[in-house]
Structure 1
Amino acid sequence: MRSWIRDRANSVYERLLKGEIDGAPAHVAVIQDGNRRYARKEGEETSEGHREGAETTEALLEWCDELGIEELTLYTFSTENFDRPADQRAVLFDLIEEKLYDFADADRVHEAGVRIRAIGETHRLPTRVREAIDYAESRTEGYDQFHLNIALAYGGRAELLGAVEEIASDVDTGDLDPGEIDVETVENRLYEGPTRDVDLIVRTGGDERTSNFLPWHANGNEAAAYFCAPYWPEFRKIDFLRAIRTYEHRADSWRRTRARRALALVRAVSDAELHTAKGVLRRFRDSLSPRELEDVDVSIDPEHEPGSD
C-alpha cells in the first residue's frame, strides 16, 4: 500500500514539475556519482552498483528524448579512475565495453538517430574497450538528431593542456601567428565530440563540485549546475525534472540581469551609444516589469532594429 501511495505521489509531482517547465536545455552533462556507495548501502558488490547505474543511464536517454534535449555528455570514466585497483578498473571496463555494443545495436538508438562519440584520452584504455568505441562510433556516425558523448579517460585539465601544447607547437614551427589565436583556435584543438556548449551540469551523490568536467564547454558558458543527494542508481525522472527547472530559473535570472544592465545603459549613455543600448534592451524587455520600463522609451522601430541594416 505504501509503495502504491508513493508511486501515485511521484506521478502527481512529476506532472506538476512538467507543468513548470517551458522548454529544456540543448546540452546536458551528467556526473554519474555514487554507484559504489549505493552498492555498499544496499549490501551488494560494487559491480552491481555500476550495473544498476547503467540502467539509470538508459532511462536518462529516454527522458532526454521526451524533453527534446539534443545532446548529452556522460562522465563515465575519468583520468583519476586509472588510480583505482586493477580489479575495479576491469569491472568498469567490462561494463563499458558491454554497454557500448548494446547501445550501438539497440533499435531505439537507430530510430532516434543517436550519434555516439567517446571523448578523452581513449588511447589509454584497453584494446577491447577501444574496439567497442570504434564499433559504436562507426555504427552511428551518420546520425545527427541526438548526440551522446561518453567521456572515457577524460580530464578537463588534460584536455585544455593538450590544446595549449598543440597551439604552442604550431606557433613554434611558424604555422600559427600568435596574434591570430582566438576562441576558435582553442576549440579546434579540444577533444572531438561536443557540438555545442553545455547548458546544464547535473551531479548525483551529494558532492557539490564539477570535478574537472568540461571546463571549456561548461564554465565558459556559465552553465547552470544541479547537485542532488541520490546516488546515481537512485536518480529518478523527478530529480531530472528538478534539474531542468533549476536551469530554467537560472536562464530567467540571466535574462533579467542582462535586461537591467541594458536599462542602466539606456539611462546613462550618450546619444552616440543610445541606439546600441536600446537594441540590447529590446531583446530582453520582457524580463523587466512595467515599472522598471515606465520612464524609458524602448518602442521597437523595425527599420532601425540592430542587424536590420
Structure 2
Amino acid sequence: MREWFGRRVRSGYERLLRREIEGVPTHIAVIQDGNRRYARQNGDSATEGHEHGAETTEQVLEWCQDLGIEELTLYTFSTENFDRPEDQLEALFDLIEGKLREFADAERVHDNGVCIRALGDIDRLPERVRDAVDYAEGQTEEYDQFVLNIALAYGGRAELLSAAQSVLGGVEDGAISPDEIDIETVENRLYERPVRDVDLIIRTGGDERTSNFLPWYANGNEAAVFFCTPYWPEFRKVDFLRAIRTYEHRQESWRTARARRALALLRATGSAELDEAKSVLRRFRDALPSGERERLDAEEFDADDRAAD
C-alpha cells in the first residue's frame, strides 16, 4: 500500500513539474555517480551497481527524447577510473562494450534517429571496447535527430593540456603564428567535440562538484548545474524534471542580469556603447520585474517628450 501511494505521489509531482516547465535545455551532460555506493547499500557487487545504473541511463535517454532535448552526454568512464582494481575494470569494460553494441542494434535508437558518438582518449581503452565504439558510431553515423555522446577515458584537464601542447608544438614548428591563435585553434585540438555547448550538468550521488567534466563546453557556456543526492540507479523522472526547472530558473536569472546591465549602461553613457545597450535591452526587457519595466517605459516617454521639445 505504501509503495502504491508513493508512486501516486511521485506521478502527481511529475505532472506538476512538467506543467511548470516552459523551455528545455538543448544539451544536457550527466555525471552518473553513486553506482558502487548503491551496490554496497543493497549488498550487491560493484558490477551489479553499474548494471542497475545502465538501466537508469536508458530511462534518461527516453526522457530526453520525450521532452525534445537534442543532445545528451554521459560521463561513463573517466581517466581517473583507470586506477580502479583490475577485476572492476574488466567488468566495466564488459558492460560498456555490451551496452554500446546493444544500443547500436536497438530498434528505438534507429526509430528515433539517435547518433551515438564517443568523446575522450579512446585509444587508451581495450581493443574490444574500441571495436564496440566503432560499431556503434558506424551504425548510427547518418542520424541527426538526437545525439548521444558517451564520454570514455575522458578527463577535462587532460583534454585542455593536450590541446595546449598541440598549439605550442604548432607555434614551435612555425605552422601557427601566436597572433593567429583563437578559440577555433584550441577547439580543433580537443577531443571529438559535442555538437552543441552544454546547457545543464546533472550530478547524482550527493557530491557537489563537476569533476573535470567538459570544462571547455560547459564552464565556457556558463552551464547551469544541478546536484542531487540519489545514487544514479535511484535517479527518477522527478529528479530529472527538477534539474530542468533549475536550468529554467538559471536562464531567467541570466536574462534579468543582462537586461539590468544593459539598462545601467544605457543610463550611464551616450557613447558608442549606446546602440549595443539598447539592442540588449530590447532583447531582454521582458526579463525585468514589472516595476522596473514600468519605470523604463516612463523614462522612454519622458525622453520622447524632451526630443519633441
TM > 0.5 between the two?
yes
Q: Is 1:296 paired with 2:299?
A: yes
For residues 62-81 of structure 1, what are the structure 2 equivalents within 5 Å? 62-81=62-81
Residue type at the aligned position of 1:118: A
In structure 1, what is the Cα distance between the partners aligned to 2:158 and 2:208? 22
Secondary structure in structure 2 of the residue aligned to 1:216: coil
User: How do residues 21-40 of structure 1 correspond to structure 2 at under 5 angstroms?
Assistant: 21-40=21-40
Equivalent position of 2:284 in the other structure: 284
Aligned pairs for 1:1-309 within 5 A: 1-293=1-293, 294=295, 295-297=298-300
Q: 2: CA distance between counterparts of 1:182 and 1:252?
A: 30
Q: Against the structure 1 CA distance between its residues 86 and 268, is the aligned structure 2 distance closer, same or farther, given a 3 Å change threshold?
A: same
Matched position secondary structure for 1:215: coil
Q: How far did 1:279 drift? A: 1.1
Aligned pair count reads 299
Letter in 1 for 2:299: V
SS at match of 1:296: helix
Instruction: Write the letter of the residue equivalent to 1:97.
Output: E
2:160 alignment partner AA: L
Q: Deviations over 1:233-256 (max 9, x none)?
A: 000000000000000000000000
Letter in 2 for 1:227: F
What is the Cα deviation at residue 125 of structure 1?
0.6
Flag structure 2 segments of 5+ consecutive residues without an equivalent.
302-309
Residue 166 of structure 1: CA displacement? Answer: 1.2
Opposite residue 197 of structure 2, the aligned amino acid is D
TM-aligned CA deviation for residue 271 of structure 1: 5.0
Q: Distance in 1 between matches of 2:275 and 2:65?
A: 42
Q: Deviations over 1:24-48 (max 9, x none)?
A: 1000000000000000000111111
Note the alpha carbon deviations across 1:161-205, whole angstroms, 9 max, x for none.
111111111111111111111111111111113011100000000
Runs of 4 or more above 3 Å deviation: none
Deviation at 1:126, TM superposition (A): 0.6
Q: Which amino acid aligns with 1:22?
A: E
Deviations 1:216-240 (A, max 9, x none): 0011111100000000000000000
1:58 maps to amino acid: E
Deviations 1:49-86 (A, max 9, x none): 00000000000000000011100110000000000000
In the alignment, what sits opposite 2:305? none
The alignment yields a C-alpha RMSD, in angstroms, of 1.3
Gaps of 5+ in 1: 299-309
Percent sequence identity over aligned pairs: 69
Task: Quickly say closer, same or farther: Cα 1:271–1:179, change in 2 above 3 A.
Answer: closer
Q: CA deviation at 1:138?
A: 0.5
Specify the SS of the correspondent of 1:87.
helix
- Choose 5-14 or 180-189, whichever is displaced more: 180-189
CA distance in 1, matches of 2:194, 2:97: 21
Checking the alignment, whether the CA contact within 8 Å between 1:267 and 1:296 is kept in structure 2 is no
Following superposition, the deviation at residue 275 of structure 1 comes to 2.2
Q: Secondary structure at the match of 1:239?
A: helix
TM-score, length basis structure 1: 0.95
Counterpart secondary structure, 2:189? coil
CA distance in 1, matches of 2:272, 2:156: 43
